[in-house]
Amino acid sequence: MQVRNLTTGYDGNAALEEISFDVARGNLVALIGPNGSGKSTLIKSLVGLLAPWSGAIEVLGDPPSAARERIGYMPQIESVDWRFPVSVREVVAMGLYQRRWGWDRLRRLAGRAPNESAAIDAALERLRIRDLAAEQVSELSGGQQRRVLLARTLVKDPEVLLLDEPAAGLDVSVEEDLLGLLLELAEQGKTLIVATHDITSVFEHYPLAICVNKRLVVSGPPAEVLTEDVLVQTFGRHLMVFHRDEHGYTVEPHVWHGRHDH
């Protein structure tokens, strides 16, 4: 994956400016930055939902629009309208289809072929939600809905996964299960970019980190690049201090999960 001098945004307002970085295949990458820093914008650009104003993006050697079939995208849970009466199985099945048909048509088509049914079953099993297959997604907890979205992302076995805050709001045990799955997918050769606010998790689990705040701050192995100066540049004044080994680091107050002593 290559991003070169990417500038883009909304309604004439730039959300990202001159962003450049490379991600080799098979990497698990944490995308970190404060709210409004452009993380979601970057993910939408990588999946081809938002066109660059300038610069270029290659995913698996192609522009995002050409690579779309090989990309899995999980949006933030807050951006999903859960009011439509649809089952867990139907939502997961919709991950097999790229065209933006209406809900009713997708429900009629989803999972009809035997190979599609097997893929849906496998995704449900992998996220441990097979027992919820017939439940209405609107009735699920936030953590369960996140598992449904991730199952929908995995159902077509994509080579690249772009996940926008998949662990937000999960309890510690569920988040650890999710991280285990992400590491397993990376070991299988899949490339993952995961927007996250959990800095301690980045240190503990992610081989690479990309820090953005409208512009690229830094990219590289967390232990090497996430210095206190870098985190101050990334998060600005919305900070608190925690300690890792002999070092002090700063993060946004709402992202601290209490795994280390202050």
Residue numbers of the domain that contains 159? 2-255
Within a domain: 134: yes
> Is the overall model pTM greater than 0.85, yes or no?
no
Within a domain: 95: yes
> How many domains are there within the chain?
1
- Residue 88 CA to residue 12 CA, distance in Å, equals 38
- Between residues 184 and 249, the one the model is more confident about: 184
Average pLDDT of the residues in 17-25: 96
Strand partners, 193: 29, 162
Within a domain: 261: no
Within a domain: 140: yes
- For residue 63, the domain's CATH number is 3.40.50.300
> Residue 245's pLDDT is what?
53
**Helix/strand/coil (H, E, C) string of 64-93?**
HHHHHHHEEEECCHHHCCCCCCCEHHHHHH
Within a domain: 243: yes
> Residue 255's pLDDT is what?
45
pLDDT category, 178, cuts 50, 70, 90?
confident
Within a domain: 163: yes
Within a domain: 262: no
**What is the DSSP-derived secondary structure letter of residue 171?**
-
Check if the beta carbon of residue 242 is closer than 8 Å to that of residue 258. no
Within a domain: 180: yes
- Residue 183 CA to residue 208 CA, distance in Å, equals 12
Average pLDDT of the residues in 251-257: 45
The separation between the first and the last C-alpha atoms of the chain, rounded to the nearest angstrom, is 37
Q: Is residue 158's pLDDT more than 70?
A: yes
